Amino acid sequence: MTRNIIAIDLDSCIGCHSCAVVCKQENNVGLGTYYNKVLTVGPFGTYPDLEMYYLPVACQHCDNPECVSVCPTGASYRREDGVVLVDHSKCIGCQYCVMACPYGVRAYDEGKDKGVIEKCTMCAHLIDKGEKPACVKHCPGQARLFGDADDPESDVSKMIARKSTHKLKDVGNHPGVTYGLDKFSWKGDE
């Protein structure tokens, strides 16, 4: 079975925000809403021994998503390939999933769909056509990788094998996005 994930090599991320920009364009995301955001972590330490890196954050496409378990209508769901989505025809805009998400990556959209929840779809419409998510395709630092975590020959599995990897804080949901970081001290779960 396929388990699609995004792996992000933080040693290669240049903090350009291209992932956030192309995501908004590809998914027609309105002003004030972000499916992807890039946080600056640091600086830490004292001069001249400072550390800093960029931490792209989007839906973690968790193995056990809290957003799905609290949804009263079944609008939030996880596909068999690991992608977590929202069926807007079932969404009543109650925002339980927004409150349940430990990463703050869901948004209530009062605009185009009126009263529904929006989030990163991992560009499921592109995955279904055999393509990579837009944020992966257009990353100028090639910091984002996409693939089947259960396939040892996939790009994500190869990165996981060669780098020190981390996940955002796990509160029993088992986040799916993997971060690789060797140059600096991981601060992503603080």
DSSP tag of 141: T
Is it the case that residue 190 has pLDDT exceeding 60?
A: no
Mean pLDDT computed over 41-63: 90
Is it the case that residue 181 has pLDDT exceeding 60?
A: yes
Is it the case that residue 111 has pLDDT exceeding 70?
A: no
DSSP tag of 183: S
Tell me the three state secondary structure of residue 32.
coil
189 lies in some domain: no
Tokens of residue 159, six digits: 């990165």
| Residues shown for the chain | 190
pLDDT tens-digit map of 128-141: 999 999 999 999 99
Is it the case that residue 30 has pLDDT exceeding 90?
A: no
Q: Looking at per-residue confidence, does 167 or 110 come out higher?
A: 167
187 lies in some domain: no
Is it the case that residue 101 has pLDDT exceeding 60?
A: yes
Radius of gyration of the chain (CA): 16
pLDDT for 171 equals: 85
Distance, CA of 18 to CA of 66 (rounded, Å):
28
Domain with 57, as residue range(s), is 4-180
pLDDT for 113 equals: 53
44 lies in some domain: yes
Is it the case that residue 5 has pLDDT exceeding 60?
A: yes
161 lies in some domain: yes
pLDDT for 33 equals: 84
Is it the case that residue 52 has pLDDT exceeding 60?
A: yes
Distance, CA of 95 to CA of 91 (rounded, Å):
9
Tell me whether strands 84-86 and 165-166 are parallel, antiparallel or unpaired.
Answer: unpaired
pLDDT for 188 equals: 63
Mean pLDDT computed over 92-110: 90
Counting residues of the chain whose pLDDT is more than 70, the rounded percentage is: 94
Is residue 140 classed exposed, middle or buried when 0-12, 13-18 and 19+ CB atoms within 10 A define those classes?
exposed
190 lies in some domain: no
Is it the case that residue 108 has pLDDT exceeding 90?
A: no
Mean pLDDT computed over 43-65: 91
Q: What is the mean pLDDT of the chain?
A: 90
Tell me the backbone φ, ψ of residue 83, rounded to 5 degrees.
-80, 130
188 lies in some domain: no
Diameter of the chain measured on Cα atoms? 54
- Kindly report the pTM of this predicted structure: 0.88
Total structural domains within the chain: 1
pLDDT for 189 equals: 58
Domain of 152, CATH number, reads: 3.30.70.20
Mean pLDDT computed over 8-16: 93
Sorted by sequence, the CB contacts under 8 Å of residue 119 that are 6+ apart come out as 35, 59, 84, 86, 105, 106, 107
Q: Measuring CA to CA, how many Å separate 51 from each of 12, 32, 82, 164?
A: 14, 30, 33, 17
Is it the case that residue 112 has pLDDT exceeding 70?
A: no
78 lies in some domain: yes
